[in-house]
Amino acid sequence: MMADTGDLHGSCLCGGIRYRAALPVFHASHCYCTMCQKQHGAGAGSYANVASAGLVIEQGAELITEYASSDDGRRDFCRVCGSTLFWRSTQSPDRIAVTLGTLEPEYTGPVKRELFVETKPAWLPRA
Ligand SMILES: [Zn+2]
Ligand SMILES: [Zn+2]
């Protein structure tokens, strides 16, 4: 079980960007949409949804590059190492999703949502 208070901590592959995000996590998800697959170069984008007001960029804010992947979708990544960091919607400015793979220590909460399962790749391991 994860605590409801405190912070998640994360960083990118090169270590240039460090951030923290205040708990609680409202929900965590694996998203199999084709945009997440492309951006992550992987079978899914895995995210924890938190309050945007609790996100603090502790280091390397100047390295964060944002890509508008749709009218309202914004995807933030490190311009040096390419790590995917955040996803947000301009229609829900109070929330932001942080990538589970950039969290340190490892995320230990539940991941209850699977999104866009209709485009989940067949080459992912089966449960
Ligand atoms: Zn980096
Ligand atoms: Zn997605």
Give the domain CATH number at 76.
Answer: 2.170.150.70
The structural domain count of the chain equals 1
Give pLDDT, residue 69: 96
Q: Is residue 28 part of a domain?
A: yes
Ligand nearest to the CA of 82: 1
Q: What is the pLDDT of residue 126?
A: 77
Cα 20 from Cα 22, distance rounded (Å): 7
Residue 42 counted as domain residue: yes
pLDDT at 2: 65
Ligand 1 centroid to residue 64 C-alpha, Å: 8
Residue whose C-alpha is closest to residue 102's, from 18, 42, 4, 2: 18
How high is the pLDDT of residue 91?
Answer: 97
Ligand 1: centre distance to CA 60 (Å):
9
Residue 5: per-residue pLDDT: 86
- In-domain check, residue 1: no
Is the residue at 127 inside a domain?
A: no
Query: For residue 102, is it within any domain?
Result: yes
Among 61-75, 82-96, 113-127, the minimum mean pLDDT is found in: 113-127
Indicate the pLDDT class of residue 43, thresholds 50, 70 and 90.
very high
Note the ligand closest to the C-alpha atom of 38: 2
> How confident is the model over 72-98, as a mean pLDDT?
98
- Average pLDDT of the residues in 61-85: 98
Q: Is the pLDDT of residue 1 over 80?
A: no
With the C-alpha atoms ordered 86, 59, 78, 45, is the resulting torsion angle positive or negative? negative
* 69: three-class secondary structure by DSSP: coil
C-alpha dihedral sign at 109, 6, 77, 14: negative
Q: Does residue 23 form part of some domain?
A: yes
Residue-range definition of the domain harbouring residue 52: 7-119
76 falls within a domain:
yes
124, part of any domain: no
Position 3 pLDDT exceeds 90: no
